[in-house]
Amino acid sequence: MTASTPLIIATRESRLALWQAEHVQARLADELGLTASLLGMTTRGDQILDRTLSKIGGKGLFVKELEAALAEGRAQIAVHSLKDVPMELPDGFMLAAVLEREDPRDAFVANDYASLEELPEGAVVGSSSLRRVTQLLSLRPDLRVEPLRGNLDTRLRKLDEGGYHAIVLAAAGLKRLGLGHRVRSLFDIGQMLPCAGQGALGIEIRADDEALAQSLDRLVHRPTLLACEAERAVSRALGGSCSLPLAAHGRWQGGTLCLDAALGHAEAHASPLLRASVAGDVTDVQAARALGQQAAARLRDLGAGSYLPG
Ligand SMILES: NCc1[nH]cc(CCC(=O)O)c1CC(=O)O
């Protein structure tokens, strides 16, 4: 591939996915002098809205069609929310870049209440994320958590139509779409630990596209990459499926990466969360992954084995 060959970015067609693809398109142009156009695609994950992701085949549903486009040469680049990218990429693909993370926190969104604490006893909160459900119930066992899927606009509409007292969404997505004003409060990281990779963007390419990999390397944000590698390693070590209520978040204190992880029971969502915190001086991907494995080992010591699906 030469610098003058226009690139094609495969993207889902939700507003958030298009924002993310356009963001990468702009950075390719501004920082690497590369021209790219967008190829919009509808994925199975976008079409099936009435069942939870874990029941219909997991987060991989959002990336498979984009990978097919890469494999067939219809596109060279796929842009994903990193948290939607499975822990193991299929053979033939690689993550060529992880970009600087937006706010990784989860947001409390409601029309009549300013925070989780303000919700009345027994209030209905919308979320289909097992990770959010288990943490919500651990903070407020009285709440009724009801399924809520669809893209961000759909979820906000369902809130506005009165189906829920409140909903929980990633702050990053709301901010990217100019919907930051819908955030009533942000959960503390310690209260509502984010999903591995939350708020970060990943750029996937064909593993044999070495020249492109080398170009994209200049877009990598190392602190985000290393934190996300540690977070994703926790998930990978525990089996890595999105049917697990698993949270993992790494934050930097100087050169030390502090990694927190929490695991809820795969079926009994009211079981107490298992929590582990580890820290280490991390300077490369290998050390980041080792830190993640250390956190996973701690969770196993605490009894994670009986929390995982049999
Ligand atoms: N699971 C869907 C999804 N994938 C990425 C984001 C938000 C942006 C991000 O976390 O990077 C969202 C929405 C949400 O979880 O509220």
C-alpha 288 – ligand 1 centre gap (Å):
23
Question: What is the ipTM score, two decimals?
Answer: 0.94
If you take atom 5 of ligand 1, which residue's CA is the nearest one? 81
Q: How far is the CA of 237 from the CAs of 125, 158, 256, in angstroms?
A: 31, 36, 22
**Cα 108 to chain center, whole Å?**
17
Q: Is the pLDDT of residue 48 over 70?
A: no
Q: In a 10 Å sphere around its CB, with 0-12 CB exposed, 13-18 middle and 19+ buried, how is residue 66 labelled?
A: buried
C-alpha 170 – ligand 1 centre gap (Å):
5
Give the tokens for residue 86: 């499975």
Determine which of 19-23, 40-44, 110-114 has the lowest per-residue pLDDT on average. Answer: 40-44
> In the predicted model, what is the mean pLDDT of residues 35-60?
69
270 Cβ partners below 8 Å, 6+ apart?
137, 141
Q: Best of 14, 15, 16, 155 to mutate for ligand 1, by most ligand atoms within 8 A of CB?
A: 16
Mapped onto helix, strand or coil, the DSSP state of residue 22 is: helix
CB 102 within 8 A of CB 175: yes
Instruction: Kindly report, residue by residue over 63-103, the tens digit of the pLDDT.
Output: 888 999 999 999 999 999 999 999 999 999 999 999 999 99
C-alpha 125 – ligand 1 centre gap (Å):
17
Q: How far is the CA of 69 from the CAs of 16, 19, 47, in angstroms?
A: 20, 19, 18
pLDDT at 165: 98
Residues touching ligand 1 (Cβ under 6 Å) are 81, 83-84, 169-170, 172-173, 198-199
pLDDT at 258: 98
- Alpha-carbon gap, residue 221 to 243, rounded angstroms: 29
Q: Best of 18, 59, 81, 249 to mutate for ligand 1, by most ligand atoms within 8 A of CB?
A: 81
pLDDT at 267: 82
> In the predicted model, what is the mean pLDDT of residues 293-310?
93
DSSP letter string, 203-256: EEEETT-HHHHHHHGGG--HHHHHHHHHHHHHHHHTT--TTS-EEEEEEEETTE
**Cα 51 to chain center, whole Å?**
19
Q: What's the alpha-carbon Rg for the chain, to the nearest Å?
A: 19
If you take atom 9 of ligand 1, which residue's CA is the nearest one? 199
**Residue 277 backbone dihedrals phi, psi, to 5 degrees:** -130, 130
**Cα 290 to chain center, whole Å?**
21
Q: Is the pLDDT of residue 49 over 60?
A: no
pLDDT at 269: 72
Count of beta carbons in the 10 Å neighbourhood of residue 141:
8
C-alpha 122 – ligand 1 centre gap (Å):
26
Q: Ligand 1, closest atom to CA 53?
A: 1
> In the predicted model, what is the mean pLDDT of residues 17-28?
98
**Considering the chain, what is the average pLDDT of its residues?**
92
User: Could you tell me which residue, 42 or 123, shows the higher pLDDT?
Assistant: 123
If you take atom 15 of ligand 1, which residue's CA is the nearest one? 170
Which candidate, 164, 41, 175, places its Cα nearest to that of 110?
A: 164
- Alpha-carbon gap, residue 272 to 72, rounded angstroms: 46
pLDDT at 268: 78
C-alpha 196 – ligand 1 centre gap (Å):
11
Residue 89 DSSP one-character state:
P
pLDDT confidence tier of residue 6, bands split at 50, 70 and 90: confident
160 is a catalytic site residue? no
Residue of 46, 84, 160, 301 marked active site? 84
**Residue 10 backbone dihedrals phi, psi, to 5 degrees:** -85, 135
Q: Is the pLDDT of residue 257 over 60?
A: yes
CB 3 within 8 A of CB 28: no
Q: Which amino acid is at 38?
A: L
If you take atom 1 of ligand 1, which residue's CA is the nearest one? 84
- Alpha-carbon gap, residue 78 to 70, rounded angstroms: 7
Instruction: Kindly report, residue by residue over 264-278, the tens digit of the pLDDT.
Output: 998 877 789 999 999
Predicted TM-score (pTM) of this structure? 0.93
Instruction: Kindly report, residue by residue over 225-246, the tens digit of the pLDDT.
Output: 999 999 999 999 998 776 789 9
Q: Is the pLDDT of residue 58 over 60?
A: no
pLDDT at 44: 64
Q: What residue ranges define each of the domains in the chain, with the CATH number in brackets?
A: 1-99+200-220 (3.40.190.10), 106-186 (3.40.190.10), 222-304 (3.30.160.40)
Which candidate, 275, 80, 265, places its Cα nearest to that of 193?
A: 275
- Alpha-carbon gap, residue 107 to 257, rounded angstroms: 24
